[in-house]
Amino acid sequence: MEKHPEGWIYSGQASERLWSKSAIGRPMGELGLLLSGAEVIFCHEHRHIDLPHSDWMAEAVMENTRIIDEASIIEALRVPGNKIVLRNNLSVLGVESSHSTWAARWPSDKHPREKEPVSEIRWFHASAELDIEDLQAWADEVTSINRIAEVIVVDDETSVVTYRVSIESPRGDMGDLDEASIGNIRDREFKPLANGGVIILDANLWPEERIGIPHPNGRMLDSITSELIYSDGEELFSMGSSILVDLLSRGLHCRPGFKYGTRWRCYDRPLGEEHAPWLVVHPAEAPSDWEGACLASRLASGVGKTWLHPLQIDDSWVYLSISRPPPDSRWSNPNRR
């Protein structure tokens, strides 16, 4: 192999086959195949191609400190048969992509010379900051052209796990909030509680089942719901109350999500008919890194729910989902190290 400003040129006999069969690298005509450093490692470990020289790995790590993680991700994606094209090669193929995208993916039965990719990929180390605004903008851009926004997270043992990112619009069947019902509740006698909420002692003919939690002595409202009821105007709402109003206006029934590590669990139908489809986190209590996001998403997936992170855009709330993909799309390392 020969050094190239963008990687390494492989001109061996397998160069044409590596591209035509597996879409590895970038064809460079008579020069051969241009490979990134991570692709060189993959071809060495899985296509029996020699490294450029004996000290190459040490030099490659010094040049790109992320190369081992990137090679692990390429391995996890390619071993099942996916075709992965890095972003700096996509424009050469005439494939448009987000500027934030790291690579695009084609399934095993498709090839970049014939079809558009099914997904765009970003990857993060587990310790990396979870930037919700950046993630939302990328997911919105990718899904707008009917591609899956896939995220690969790699940890300190170069083990990878796959997630999908999308903008969700949770909706329920229980209608909007009725101002008359809110006024009815506000006018009732209440007593403050140590948790910042209140207990309303008169719960007869309760006007709105989604407000408060039944108690033998009345109805309990947590601190956020209490603010919703007793604030003098929408401009006085905290972030939590604003989100709760939005969720209720979507016809959802919100109950505490403490047991699931979130602020709310949200039902789309009256309690008792079905399990809550969504878990919604308060942004101030959300994970700050990908390790925490992975834990939250896995917990939600394990109980058959979707984890949602609210994000305010202009004057509206949108909900970003970080979810586990279907079992046939969960890319992981073929061999544990």
Q: Does 187 fall in a domain?
A: yes
Token code pair at residue 315: 């004057």
Q: Does 253 fall in a domain?
A: no
What contacts 208, CB < 8 A, 6 or more positions away? 177, 178, 181, 182, 185
Alpha helices in 208-302 (DSSP H): 223-230, 239-249, 290-302
Helix (H, G, I), strand (E, B) or coil at 29: helix
Per-residue pLDDT of the chain (337 residues; tens, 9 = 90+): 899 999 999 998 889 999 999 999 999 988 999 999 999 999 999 999 999 999 999 999 999 999 999 999 999 999 999 999 999 999 889 999 999 999 999 999 999 988 999 999 999 999 999 999 999 999 999 999 999 999 999 999 999 999 999 999 999 999 998 889 999 999 999 999 999 999 999 889 999 999 999 999 899 999 999 999 988 765 657 899 999 999 999 999 999 999 999 999 999 999 888 999 999 999 999 999 999 999 999 999 999 999 999 999 988 999 999 999 999 999 988 876 5
Range of the domain at 182: 175-236
Looking at the DSSP bridge assignments, the partners of residue 85 are 104
Tell me the C-alpha distance between 15 and 40, whole Å.
12
Q: Does 124 fall in a domain?
A: no
Q: Which amino acid is at 201?
A: L
Quote the distance between the C-alpha of residue 55 and its chain's center: 38
Structural contact between residues 57 and 67, judged by C-beta atoms closer than 8 angstroms? no
Element holding 197 (H helix, E strand): none
Closest CA relative to residue 89, chosen from 145, 38, 53? 38
How long is the chain? 337
Closest CA relative to residue 224, chosen from 329, 310, 140? 310
Q: Please tell me the total count of domains within the chain.
A: 1
Q: Does 72 fall in a domain?
A: no
Q: Does 162 fall in a domain?
A: no
Q: Give the number of other Cβ atoms within 10 Å of residue 265's Cβ.
A: 23
Q: Does 231 fall in a domain?
A: yes
Q: Does 192 fall in a domain?
A: yes
Q: Which amino acid is at 11?
A: S
Q: Does 44 fall in a domain?
A: no
Q: Give the number of other Cβ atoms within 10 Å of residue 67's Cβ.
A: 18
Closest CA relative to residue 78, chosen from 335, 263, 333? 333
Structural contact between residues 325 and 107, judged by C-beta atoms closer than 8 angstroms? no
What contacts 29, CB < 8 A, 6 or more positions away? none
Helix (H, G, I), strand (E, B) or coil at 76: helix
Quote the distance between the C-alpha of residue 191 and its chain's center: 41
The contacts found for 25-30 with CB under 8 angstroms, 24 or more apart, are: 25/89, 26/89, 26/92
Structural contact between residues 269 and 291, judged by C-beta atoms closer than 8 angstroms? no
